[in-house]
Structure 1
């Protein structure tokens, strides 16, 4: 082997090692919360999560025994369709939404998400729909990007701008909710500015004071990671 070839081989080896070290470093950061935040997803299993039972209005009408029975069934269905693959929550497109076991009031939420072509999903706040996730090219979107408060009727429901990354790439939400007001940043850009989230389940009432956070399904494959929350006073 000539000296030139040996040097080239050595450079290739060093580059490969550097790339491996970088990948390992990035993997170590996955699902590790920033300072001040708590991880809702531990990167290994669905501890702290549960299956969906009805909605806030129907759950409130259930007796403790009825709710416990329904929750047991919902948890089994959840485990059949929501799985962990390489530190990522993966939904297979069947079943119902994935819900936090704990209810939240005021919070600052960070979450990475990814969809496939024509994907359609969302994030429920306090059990109510929703911060929209979808492929802007899907028919229902009509070119509008993700992040809007889709089910609002009286208050703005569309994002201020389209900030989605191309379908198949990761996106990052920051969602801040205080009282009835919600602000949303998508990939670092403000798309919802201190807007009232309406009560979808009971239109004559304001949004519930507390409730679970839900990763909504809409019949397609979904991916979530780096789910962090900071509870606010």
Structure 2
């Protein structure tokens, strides 16, 4: 009888420790207002940037992962970026990403599809997704502000611990009022105030100082915008994308 009790207890512990199924929400998360941006099976809720439907090729759903296939390494030229149908202002966004060797991508927010369409990626603030060791972009910019987890070309991620290439990382972006934070694998790596004097100084030292980025208002200061996944010509995987409004 004692052995049966111990066995039952162990089974209980194993059940308790069972990992959450990817692309699902717990009852607690549902009560907290979380919504899935990707259901693990379809591309519902997404479309091509500057398009009215999802790209016909390049992006695919495989084994519960939203994947952009390898192409020529160019920015948003081969298959194109994808954006959420919805727009967000105050939000808590979480996503898992897995890189292949030498890969580059990005998760953008406050993306507004202004006319005319830019040659590259749609404009927005970017949580950098990058193989820091193998992709040359990591050494460009200023003080490492193009490395994984950084606010691309503006603020370098600090104190980060990225998992090896081929393993999953968890990114998070929290935006409330003007305050924004980037988190990587449970550690806050960036925080800033959109529209502050300091933020505008950083923009003035970045590629975003160019007139085209500010033709429809100051860069990065739109009141709301889409979430975007970037096609940068490299294979990258996403899953567990969820968001809640704050």
Q: Same fold (TM over 0.5)?
A: yes
Question: 1:172-183, aligned counterparts within 5 Å?
Answer: 172-183=170-181
Larger radius of gyration: 1
Q: 1:118 aligns with which of 92, 98, 102?
A: 102
Specify which structure has the higher proportion of helix. 1
Superposed CA offset, 1:103-154 (max 9, x none): 11110001000111111111111110311110111222139441111133xx
Match of residue 127 from structure 2: 131
Residue 39 (str. 1) matches residue 31 (str. 2):
no
C-alpha separation in 2, matches of 1:96 and 1:164: 26
Please say if residues 179 and 209 of structure 1, whose CA atoms lie closer than 8 Å, have aligned partners that are also in contact: no
Match of residue 11 from structure 1: none
Unaligned runs of 5+ in 1: 1-17, 54-70
Match of residue 60 from structure 2: 83
SS at match of 1:30: coil
Please say if residues 88 and 225 of structure 1, whose CA atoms lie closer than 8 Å, have aligned partners that are also in contact: yes
SS at match of 1:141: helix
The Cα RMSD (Å) is 2.4
C-alpha separation in 2, matches of 1:98 and 1:151: 21
C-alpha separation in 2, matches of 1:166 and 1:212: 29
> What is the number of equivalent residue pairs in this alignment?
186
C-alpha separation in 2, matches of 1:220 and 1:140: 13
Match of residue 149 from structure 1: 151
SS at match of 2:57: helix
Unaligned runs of 5+ in 2: 1-10, 71-77, 112-123
- Output the TM-score relative to the length of structure 2: 0.69
Match of residue 231 from structure 1: 245
Superposed CA offset, 1:184-228 (max 9, x none): 110111111234376842186251001100011211011000001
